[in-house]
A = this chain, B = another copy of it.
Amino acid sequence: MTVKQLRAFLAVAQHLNFLQASEQLHMSQPALSLAVKGLEEYLGGALLIRTTRSVTLTPEGELFVGLARQLLADWDSIQDKMRQRFTLQQGAVSVAAIPAFAANHLPGLLKRFYDRFPGIHITVHDVINEQVMEMVRARKVEIGVCFEPPPGSSLQFEPLGSDKLVAVLPADSPLARRATVSWAQLQQYAHIALQRPSALRLLLEQRLAKHGMALEVAFESHHLATIGRMVACGLGCSAVPELCLSQMHELGAVCRPLKGPEIVQRVGMVTSGPDILSAAAGALAEVIRSAPSPWGATGQ
């Protein structure tokens, strides 16, 4: 039984006339006869009564019309669906990103993507670094944006840029008049930090410890936005990824490059392996890849 036979039969059933049906199908009438005959032989009984002057359906033919119509409708619909996925007219992508990226840079990227592919549904998961990697690993999302995974991870990492920590200061802070700020200078003021288990907080403590420093925290919050506001109000100072620079400005805080030591972490896209992205995810990855870097020309 072939799809062609089904279409042949349905056309005949519709017109109750082999000649008209053959014209609709763009084939010769004898070929159509053969196709229908083959179908009947395959199924083991007659679907049509041909009386040389008229064509009518048998009761079995009547039943089969309904079944075949539904089957072919499904057939065509599945074909269309797959083609639409591949041509990016339809589909869905899930992305997970660390808050700093999700809040500051991702929306613009999604806008560009949406303008080009309005049929594709996007889900964004704004979660902490570890969860980004976990979601990619568990295939809950196709693309993640986070800090570089430790070596040995099964995840594929593609760097987008290198993120330095910058000092966040109240606008009227004496430090704000300096071009750069050192950790020693920063620690003269009350420190506002991200709460654990943020990857950034852990990174911060580890790196400082390496240089023999300890982080004395006066205030804590889960959200960078809150930290920005707290700094802006003059509660103290903080250190955040360069990625959040514009966000901090908007919140009324001032940022300065942070030295001695400089704390750098690579940020990039992670996927669960090479070449296993859906067409839609591949397109989104390309948009993310080719967008202007939020770190300026720093590169990786």
**Known: A44-B86, A49-B276, A279-B45. Contact between A68 and B78, CB under 8 A?**
yes
Q: Which residues of B contact A63 (CB under 8 A)?
A: 82, 85
For the complex with contacts A44-B83, A49-B276, A71-B78, 18 further pairs of A-B residues with Cβ separation under 8 Å are A1-B3, A1-B75, A3-B3, A44-B86, A45-B85, A45-B86, A49-B275, A56-B276, A59-B142, A59-B281, A60-B86, A60-B278, A63-B82, A67-B78, A67-B82, A71-B71, A71-B74, A71-B75
Instruction: Report which A residues bind B (CB closer than 8 A).
Output: 1-3, 43-45, 49, 56, 58-60, 63-64, 67-68, 70-71, 74-75, 78-79, 81-83, 85-87, 142, 275-279, 281
Cα of A49 to Cα of B74 in the assembled complex, Å: 26
Cα of A106 to Cα of B71 in the assembled complex, Å: 39
Interface centre among A68, A78, A86, A87 (most CB of B within 10 A): A78
Q: Which residues of B contact A1 (CB under 8 A)?
A: 3, 75, 79
In the complex, residue of chain B having the shortest beta-carbon distance to the beta carbon of A62: B278
Q: Which residues of B contact A87 (CB under 8 A)?
A: 44
Q: Which residues of B contact A82 (CB under 8 A)?
A: 43-45, 60, 63-64, 67
Cα of A275 to Cα of B45 in the assembled complex, Å: 13
Cα of A127 to Cα of B197 in the assembled complex, Å: 82
B67 with A81: CB separation less than 8 A: yes
Q: Which residues of B contact A142 (CB under 8 A)?
A: 59
A-B contact pairs, 18 of them (CB 8 A): A1-B3, A2-B2, A2-B3, A43-B79, A43-B82, A43-B83, A43-B86, A44-B82, A44-B86, A45-B85, A45-B86, A49-B275, A49-B276, A58-B278, A67-B82, A68-B78, A71-B74, A71-B75
Interface centre among A70, A82, A83 (most CB of B within 10 A): A82
In the complex, residue of chain B having the shortest beta-carbon distance to the beta carbon of A85: B60
Q: Which residues of B contact A64 (CB under 8 A)?
A: 78, 82
- Out of B49, B75, B81, B276, which one reaches A58, CB within 8 Å? B276
Cα of A279 to Cα of B47 in the assembled complex, Å: 11
In the complex, residue of chain B having the shortest beta-carbon distance to the beta carbon of A84: B44
In the complex, residue of chain B having the shortest beta-carbon distance to the beta carbon of A44: B86
Cα of A44 to Cα of B3 in the assembled complex, Å: 20
**A161–chain B nearest beta-carbon distance, Å:** 27
**A185–chain B nearest beta-carbon distance, Å:** 50
Cα of A16 to Cα of B44 in the assembled complex, Å: 36
